[in-house]
A and B are shown apart, each in its own frame.
Chain A
Amino acid sequence: MVTQLIAAHREGDEKAGDRLFAVVYDELHAMARRQLRFRKPGETLNTTGLVHEAYLKLFDRDESGWNDRVHFFSVTARAMRQILVDYARRINAEKRGGGQYHTELNASLISDTTKNVDILDLDDAMKELEKLNPRLATIVECRFFGGMSIEETGALLDVSSRTVDRDWLKAKSFLYLALKGDE
């Protein structure tokens, strides 16, 4: 089914795109829950690569080409972003309601070596960026949320690797400033 949805979405069928997104979103959600359920207490989660796992499970590698694969990854990246945002919102909402959650969960830690980022702040900044130059926001989605390479991202957007490289740098700079200003 995913194969047909990818093909239809690539032809411009937005409804197929929505359904594809829903399938991938549900799968990521199920995988996150499964990981939680079957871990040993105190064990850090077995992070074998959910995006890749979703790919292996849903994507028909025999029937699809490289561009389909890139397309699928970009949808998975978007679903990953959305699911993180949805969880963060729920955590915040429930915290306001009963205060039963520890604040560090609220921090929604997505870290690099120097900085932690709240997923909701990042999402807001990405929406701002999207208004200014949608391609830059898509690149962040692919690179950060989808772990896609420069080459894969370029193929998706039909631009050169050099352009992706440059846009990625600009996008990071923009988000860096936007989030830094938040503190």
Chain B
Amino acid sequence: MDPDRWKKMEVLLDEALDLDPSEREAHVRAQAAGDDELRDEVLRMLAASQESESFLESTGRGDLENALARMASAVEDESEDDTMELATAGPYRLTYMLKSWAL
């Protein structure tokens, strides 16, 4: 989409979002008369704005950080040589390291 087109869409979308939900569609249809593409795009965005309410919203930081940690582990577990060595040192198997080492 080109930015001018988007700007036009955004203006109409803003107007519609300012209205009561029951009035939005009629407003878009009236304002976009003769420009079916604009009308359809704005109506699509309006519908999406209802559906996407929780999208990107309910995750909280925990999920994001878990994703980061998971990806970090996928990439970096292989290169954690010292951890691997410690984990199999002698006849003992190290099951975890004391967290205070990190502090």
Residues of A within 8 A of B14 (CB): 166, 170
Interface string of A156-173 (1 = CB under 8 A from B): 000000000010011011
Which of B44, B65, B66, B97 counts the most A-chain CB atoms under 10 A from its CB? B65
The smallest beta-carbon distance between B102 and chain A, in angstroms, is 5
Interface string of B20-49 (1 = CB under 8 A from A): 000000000000000000000000110011
Enumerate A39-98 residues with CB–CB distance to B below 8 Å.
39-41, 43-45, 47, 49-52, 80, 83-84, 87-88, 90-91, 94
Q: Is B80 located at the chain interface by the 8 A CB criterion?
A: yes
Residues of B within 8 A of A90 (CB): 75
Q: Is B89 located at the chain interface by the 8 A CB criterion?
A: no
Residues of A within 8 A of B55 (CB): 112, 114-115, 172, 175-176
How large, as a class, is the contact surface on chain B? 35 or more
Residues of B within 8 A of A94 (CB): 75
Residues of B within 8 A of A87 (CB): 68, 71-72, 74-75
Residues of B within 8 A of A117 (CB): 56
Q: Is B96 located at the chain interface by the 8 A CB criterion?
A: yes
Indicate which residue in A32, A114, A132 contacts B69 across the interface (CB closer than 8 Å): A32
The smallest beta-carbon distance between A120 and chain B, in angstroms, is 11
| A112-B57 contact in complex given A169-B17, A173-B49, A176-B48, C-beta closer than 8 Å | yes
Residues of A within 8 A of B97 (CB): 37-38
Docked-complex contact A169 and B57, CB < 8 angstroms: no
Residues of B within 8 A of A38 (CB): 96-99, 101-102
Q: Is A108 located at the chain interface by the 8 A CB criterion?
A: yes
Docked-complex contact A49 and B61, CB < 8 angstroms: yes
Q: Is B83 located at the chain interface by the 8 A CB criterion?
A: yes
| A144-B56 contact in complex given A170-B10, A174-B45, C-beta closer than 8 Å | yes
Residues of A within 8 A of B76 (CB): 33, 36
Docked Cα-Cα span, A109 to B64, in Å, equals 8
7 A-B pairs, CB-CB below 8 angstroms? A45-B65, A50-B61, A84-B68, A88-B71, A140-B56, A166-B17, A176-B48
Q: Which 10 A-B pairs have the closest CB atoms?
A: A87-B71, A176-B52, A40-B96, A173-B48, A32-B72, A132-B6, A47-B65, A45-B69, A105-B74, A173-B49
